[in-house]
Amino acid sequence: MLQIRGINAVSIVAPSDHSFPLAKVAACLEEDPGITHLCFVHCETTTGVVNPLRPMVELATRHGVRTIIDAMSSFGAVEISAREVPFDVLVTSSNKCIEGPPGVSFFVASLQTLHSKSSETNSFVLDVRDQWRNFEQTGEWRSTPPTHVVQACAKALEELAVEGVVRRGERYASVRDAIIRATAPYASPLLEPRHRSPVCLALTARDVVQTQEDLDALYAHLVEYNLYIYTKLHLPTRSFRIGCMGCIDPLWIRLLGTAFEDFFSASFDESGNHPGRGITELWKKAI
């Protein structure tokens, strides 16, 4: 997206199953003094990794670099304090841990950043400074807003304020741990406990789920139980994801364990050995 908009950027690649290596970021900032902003994802939903927020912001601040935090999947369930961690910009949305409908984006920025002089953006939609000024001057949106979505989001924020970010994160974490227990005989968490977020869980079942076709078969099986998970297999790690957000009934998790038992037992022969063929073939035979 930055390249399309003509913005020079350097990307740093990190392992999918570990939080971001601070030493690698520090080396990049040392080698390229022309870098002005550090943009990173706080909670990576591909595998559920939580990256170190405070150390990343402190590292950038020491180098005189502004920070842009993608908190799409953490805001509302992982505590973030602008007072304790003085980031420059944070972006999130209404449809993740806030538990509202999709359609509203949030832009949290320091007043210093909003008042600073910079070149004007060539995008009406992305000109958040102009939107902020309009709110300050008129209290209204620049164009007609999705009123029903905004009202639903406001209600979701009220409920978040009542529950609290810490308690919501604990609730999600209990769901995550319950899913791990329910699926333990058949799948393993990709991440070590210290890297896991409460938002989503990445599982591996490498003896059975190795390809996208294998995951398609598992997905179709879970649909029969009225259970739905993310549809894409993360090929580098051979992992698949289950969301922990929202109001998840404990009975659904028990049902998930039963569905896993029914599915994965079909991939082994009576002696307990893998029969040497993909689960997709077994699924096709079953139907």
Dist CA 89 CA 275 (whole Å): 53
pLDDT > 90? residue 286: no
Task: Please give the full DSSP string across 135-173, using - where no structure is assigned.
Answer: HHHHSS-SS---HHHHHHHHHHHHHHHHH-HHHHHHHHH
Helix (H) or strand (E) holding 243: strand 239-243
**Could you tell me if residue 14 is inside a domain?**
no
Q: Which of 116, 141, 162 is the last residue of a domain?
A: 162
Q: Is the dihedral of CA 138, 124, 119, 82 positive or negative?
A: positive
pLDDT of res. 285: 43
pLDDT of res. 7: 85
pLDDT > 60? residue 272: no
pLDDT of res. 120: 67
CATH code where residue 34 lies: 3.40.640.10
Residue that wins the pLDDT comparison between 270 and 240: 240
Read off the pLDDT of residues 56-106 as tens digits, 9 standing for 90 and up: 999 999 999 999 999 999 999 999 999 999 999 999 999 999 999 999 999
37-41 and 66-70 strand pairing:
parallel
Q: Which of 99, 129, 162 is the last residue of a domain?
A: 162
Residue 105, φ and ψ in degrees, nearest 5: -105, 145
One domain, residues 87 and 157: yes
pLDDT band at residue 279 using 50, 70 and 90 as cut-offs? very low
Dist CA 162 CA 246 (whole Å): 15
**Could you tell me if residue 43 is inside a domain?**
yes
pLDDT > 70? residue 270: no
Residue 36: Cβ within 10 Å count: 9
CA dihedral 126, 129, 134, 140 (to 10 degrees): 50
pLDDT > 60? residue 277: no
**Could you tell me if residue 13 is inside a domain?**
no
pLDDT band at residue 40 using 50, 70 and 90 as cut-offs? very high
One domain, residues 120 and 195: no
Domain enclosing residue 95, as ranges? 22-162
* Structural domains in the chain (count): 2
Q: How many residues does the chain have?
A: 287
pLDDT > 60? residue 251: yes
Residue that wins the pLDDT comparison between 22 and 116: 22
> What letter would DSSP give residue 116?
S
**Could you tell me if residue 46 is inside a domain?**
yes
Residue 57: Cβ within 10 Å count: 21
% the chain with pLDDT above 70: 92
Strand partners, 69: 40, 90
One domain, residues 129 and 181: no
